Amino acid sequence: MSSRRLELLLPLLLTLVLLLQPAVPAKAAALQVAAKQPGVLLLYDSLAAGTPREGNVRELERLLAAYPVQVTVVSLDHYEQGDMEAYARVITVINYPELSAGTSYESDIDRYRGQYLHIGYNPPAGLQRTMQLSSGLIEEGSAGLSVGAFRVPVIKLQQAPYIAAARAEKTFGSLTLPGAPGKVPYAISSGSYTYAPYLDAGNAGRLAMAYVLKDWLGAAAAAEPYLVIKEIYPFSDLSLLEKLAGRLYDAGIPFIASVRPVFSNTDFPAMQRYLDALKVVQSKNGSILVNAPVVMPSINSSDHTLGDKMNSFINLLAENGIAPLGIGADLYWTYDKEYSSAGMKFFDSVVLFPDENVIHMEKTNVSAAFTSSLYSMTSDFLADLMHEGKTMPQLPVNTAVTLNLPEDEAGLEALLQTVEGYWITFADYKQAAHKTVTDSYTVTSADGVLRVNGEALNVDYVPEAVSSDFQYKEEQYQSFRGLFSIQNQFFIVVIIIALLFFGGLLTVGYRLYRRKYLK
């Protein structure tokens, strides 16, 4: 057969081969596509309300977001057979030993071959066999935890399983149990299995789980700590904010200001003073985050203006030489379609705070993932940790130590004393790569240089006084103003003449009456 004829027949043969291939079921095709996407399936039996483990699922979501990774959260009550096959990594949290995980889950977990992390009671039979695991149970008592370079002398345990013996390739941390002669590992790992018998929402549990997740997710990059100042509004004490920025700058401490957005009256002098204060913050080695707006209980589910409002505010900052590098928001914003797609879509970097007042607009069980994400912690978290030496050892995850803007001078001094007492070398947020994109501006940072639409931004700024002489309400045109003015003057004259006339009549009448009386 000639080469020319072979070239003509080759496309026909390829077409026949494709047509003869067996059809791939729609669900199987979807699973194949999903398996190529990074992400974690998080399964749980209960949120453990009213127990010491309450809130551990939410904290796990926040830790996962900080590495960062997209998370799909599913209750075991809603698990369908084959769901976990779409994911390379699966976590199961079992908070109650009595609850049944379900036959669909149990049959799937036996043949699952991805990376599997089990937290809590009832580890799968395959995990127990692989690790030759035997466990015990602490009804109630105290234990000491050591993990990484940190230790927590006393943590309260109640109905807590622990690893009595196991054969594992890796161990994470150690627990000193009451009445036990030695130490037992906090968590263990072997092959594709990782097991942590206990997790609560307390500080010690979160820290230990952060070390487990760092290894389980293969997070090789060194973690950095950042200082974040929150609760900054246009009506805050802006002079105090500027003073704080100056004091931190003099102490060589870079920081992040998470500022509340303004969606109306942006031409008022108060707004100009707000922008000027943010320029001062930026000039003092401060980085700017846009804090998510406050969500009110009366939110209208049909109001889809959030994207336009955020776009306008970010543009306003960029127009005034201010470079917003990310967004600060409560965790639940990443599990809401409207908030994540409209309010957070401009940013590839985020700082996630613990949920305070959860008001969803369109809740979803799949989180939004970001290129850069910080796990926020308060000063109480750090106060519970003990370590060798004064300098704080490296934490296992990128963290944001969050403090609120003080209200007075005494609060300012207390904040500075707290920050200096950490003995932490805080990182400069703008040294890392961040990107913010609107319809008009692209803001980026890298190696400490801020750019707006590709042009390097000069952050040097000398504040100027803002005039308070402002007409807050536009004067409306009055068509009969002149006529009414003349009319008013006319009536005033008429009234004065009438009063004089009646005064004269009274005087004449009085004199006539007096003369008649004397006669």
> 368 with 296, same domain?
yes
- 472 within a domain of the structure (yes/no): no
Give how far Cα 363 sits from Cα of 73, 128, 336, 382, Å.
Answer: 12, 36, 4, 32
Question: Is 426's pLDDT higher than 50?
Answer: yes
pLDDT, mean of residues 198-205: 83
pLDDT, mean of residues 277-298: 93
Q: pLDDT tens digits for 288-300?
A: 999 999 888 877 7
- 107 within a domain of the structure (yes/no): yes
* Averaged confidence pLDDT in the chain: 85
Last residue of a domain, one of 190, 216, 242: 216
Question: Is 514's pLDDT higher than 80?
Answer: no
- 479 within a domain of the structure (yes/no): no
Q: What percent of the chain has pLDDT over 70?
A: 87
> 59 with 119, same domain?
yes
Spatial distance between the Cα atoms of 159 and 200, rounded to a whole number of angstroms: 11
> 250 with 177, same domain?
no
**Phi, psi of 296, rounded to the nearest 5 degrees:** -90, 150
Q: Give me the CATH number covering residue 264.
A: 3.20.20
- If one counts the domains in the chain, the total is 2
Helix (H) or strand (E) holding 188: strand 183-190
Q: What pLDDT sits at residue 37? A: 45
> 154 with 289, same domain?
no
Q: What pLDDT sits at residue 464? A: 65
What number of residues does the chain have? Answer: 519
- 417 within a domain of the structure (yes/no): yes
Range of weakest confidence among 14-28, 222-236, 298-312: 14-28
- 183 within a domain of the structure (yes/no): yes
Last residue of a domain, one of 423, 439, 456: 456
Q: What pLDDT sits at residue 180? A: 65
> 103 with 204, same domain?
yes
- 414 within a domain of the structure (yes/no): yes
Question: Burial level of 222, CB count in 10 A (0-12/13-18/19+)?
Answer: exposed
pLDDT, mean of residues 197-212: 88
Q: What pLDDT sits at residue 25? A: 38
DSSP reduced 3-state for 342? helix
> 246 with 138, same domain?
no
Spatial distance between the Cα atoms of 308 and 299, rounded to a whole number of angstroms: 16
Query: What pTM does this model have?
Result: 0.81
Q: pLDDT tens digits for 158-176?
A: 888 999 888 999 999 999 8
Spatial distance between the Cα atoms of 118 and 216, rounded to a whole number of angstroms: 11
C-alpha closest to that of 281 among 332, 334, 228: 228
> 211 with 244, same domain?
no
> 176 with 284, same domain?
no
Last residue of a domain, one of 193, 216, 239: 216
Specify the DSSP class assigned to residue 37.
S
Give how far Cα 405 sits from Cα of 240, 260, 362, 409, Å.
Answer: 9, 12, 31, 11
> 212 with 231, same domain?
no
Strand partners, 450: 445
> 202 with 246, same domain?
no
Strand partners, 170: 189
> What is the pLDDT confidence band of residue 31, given thresholds at 50, 70 and 90?
very low
Q: Give me the CATH number covering residue 169.
A: 3.40.50.880
Give how far Cα 234 sits from Cα of 272, 273, 490, Å.
Answer: 9, 8, 49
> 255 with 165, same domain?
no
Q: Residues 358-387, buried b or exposed e (16+ Cβ, 10 A)?
A: eebbeebeebbbbebbbbbbeeebbeebee
Which two tokens mark 70?
A: 């997209």
- 506 within a domain of the structure (yes/no): no
Spatial distance between the Cα atoms of 165 and 142, rounded to a whole number of angstroms: 20
Q: pLDDT tens digits for 50-91?
A: 888 899 999 999 999 998 899 999 999 999 999 999 999 999
Q: What pLDDT sits at residue 489? A: 82
> 190 with 243, same domain?
no
Strand partners, 43: 74, 92
Range of the domain at 205: 36-216
- 351 within a domain of the structure (yes/no): yes
Cis? peptide before 354, omega within 30° of 0: no
Range of weakest confidence among 348-352, 463-467, 488-492, 514-518: 463-467
Give how far Cα 228 sits from Cα of 67, 299, 378, 501, Å.
Answer: 18, 28, 10, 78
